[in-house]
Structure formats: C-alpha cells, structure tokens
Amino acid sequence: MYEVLQDDFRLFISKTHKFGTDAFLLADFAISPASKKELVLDLCSGCGIVGFLIYKANITSQVYIIDIQKEAAELAQQTIDFNNINNKVISLCGDLRTELETYSNKFSLVTCNPPYKKVGTGLKCQNLAQTIARHEVMCTIDDVCKVSSLVLKPGGRLCVCQRQDRLIDTITAMQKNNIEPKRLRFVSHRVGLAPWLFLLEGKKGAKPYLKIEPGLFLERAGCPTAEIQRIYRKC
C-alpha cells in the first residue's frame, strides 16, 4: 500500500506502519526555524513519514531515518527506491541505543515521534509491532534524548512530539542529557479543549530559556483551521 503526497511522491505503508496527523505537525514544527542544508536524523521512524516530509521541504543535505522493526525499514526503503532518492534519504534498521555510536556530533537536527506510553500503561496492543510503536518497550524518552545528545552537533536541535501527560518526563530527559528545552507548543483539537499533544524543541548545550508558542488548533466550527490546511498543503 502507499499514500501519494505532493508531486506524485509515493510513501509506502502497511496496516501496522502508517501515520497520523502528529507526523505532519512534528515535521512542520521542525522545519519552521530550519536553515538550508540541515543534516537530519529521524528516530523511531516507522514508515519514514517525518523524514520524508522534511526531505520534501528542501532544507536538507541528507536525511537519515532509523527504526528497529524490519518491516518499517523495508517500507521506507521501498519509498526511497520508488522515488529515486537513494542519495538523499538513508534508511537504517537497528536499535537506536546501539547503532548510532559512529555518528557522534554529526547531525544538526534530530526528530522523533516516539512511543507515547510507558510500559504497563494504556490499552494492550494486538501484536508486537504495535506494542513496540506505541509503548516504551524498546526505547524510552530518556534513550531518545541520550542518543540525540550523542549525535547532535553543539547547538543542534532535537524536536519531538508527545502526549501532554509526558511533558515533565520529556523536559527532564532533555535536561539530563544536555539538551535544553527552548520552544514548546501545545496542540488541541479545537478551542476550549485541553491539549492532547505537545511539540518541543531542545538545543544541545544551550542556556535555559523556554519560549511557549501560541497553541495550535486542528479545527474550528467543524472545519480544519487555516494553519492545518497550510501544513497539509506543504506536503
């Protein structure tokens, strides 16, 4: 199966490895302050959607994506092969906790749409692949921040999205690993509802100062907001 993005870009997916709105929000959040020729790494990449969206924004010299699940990495490679971008996007299959030691201080931007739930919380998934994608059985937010601190250049950025109840965990993990939270944005379905997601950017080795940006709303009066329409039009 595949989804078609702009310019007839085909992104291969499966019933297990697909994507949602959060991937588009994260990619846009990471792209917004980016400079040209960023060297990018997307962790917990799944089918590769975040990495491919960043590639399509034309701000990168190269994008690396990594996922521990073989099927996910194979889907990403199908997308790379079909769209003839082998020299632009590199798909890796492996454990991010051990496979990235040779990439120390290499990247200017790391993104991650990590498993949202701690082990033992939330509803049980029907299969192992879904469990790995949704629960911290293979990596935790601390693992993500530790690896990001290793592979980021000084001043490099880590951008993540996560459920609102994991905000303290995420900030704590960043600061523990020499990544200072610098930019925070909450996402709500519509005005009047509590946020269900947050987007957070941290910088390696930066001084403390956190900017809280205006909230992002998905819909107004039952229709997608102008900002959501802008985000999807870019893809």
Instruction: Report all structural domains of the chain as residue ranges with CATH numbers, in order of start.
Output: 2-233 (3.40.50.150)
Confidence band, pLDDT 50/70/90 cuts, at residue 36: confident
Averaged pLDDT, 175-202: 97
Confidence band, pLDDT 50/70/90 cuts, at residue 123: very low
Confidence band, pLDDT 50/70/90 cuts, at residue 158: very high
Confidence band, pLDDT 50/70/90 cuts, at residue 235: confident
Averaged pLDDT, 213-217: 97
- CA dist 9 and 88 (Å) reads 14
In this predicted structure, what is the pLDDT of residue 6?
87
In this predicted structure, what is the pLDDT of residue 135?
43
Say what the alpha-carbon torsion angle 167, 193, 123, 116 is, to the nearest 10 degrees: -30
β-bridge mates for residue 163, sequence order? 197
Write phi, then psi, for 30 (nearest 5 degrees): -75, -35
Averaged pLDDT, 34-45: 92
Beta strand 9-12 pairing with 38-43:
unpaired
In this predicted structure, what is the pLDDT of residue 138?
74
* pLDDT at residue 120 tops 80: no
- CA dist 116 and 33 (Å) reads 25
* pLDDT at residue 51 tops 90: yes
* pLDDT at residue 134 tops 70: no
Q: Which residues of 5-27 are buried (b: 16+ CB within 10 A; e: fewer)?
A: beeebebbbeebbbbeebbbbbb
In this predicted structure, what is the pLDDT of residue 115?
87
Averaged pLDDT, 192-206: 97
* pLDDT at residue 52 tops 60: yes
Averaged pLDDT, 105-119: 87
CA distance to 30, 80, 112, 136, per residue, from 12 (Å): 22, 9, 19, 25
The answer to whether 66 touches 45, Cβ cutoff 8 Å, is: yes
Average pLDDT, the chain: 91
Confidence band, pLDDT 50/70/90 cuts, at residue 136: low
The answer to whether 73 touches 93, Cβ cutoff 8 Å, is: yes
In this predicted structure, what is the pLDDT of residue 234?
75
* pLDDT at residue 218 tops 50: yes
In this predicted structure, what is the pLDDT of residue 233?
85
The answer to whether 225 touches 219, Cβ cutoff 8 Å, is: yes
Coil/strand/helix, residue 225? coil
**Of 85, 103, 102, 93, the residue nearest 40 (C-alpha):** 103
Averaged pLDDT, 112-133: 61
CB atoms within 10 A of CB 76: 29
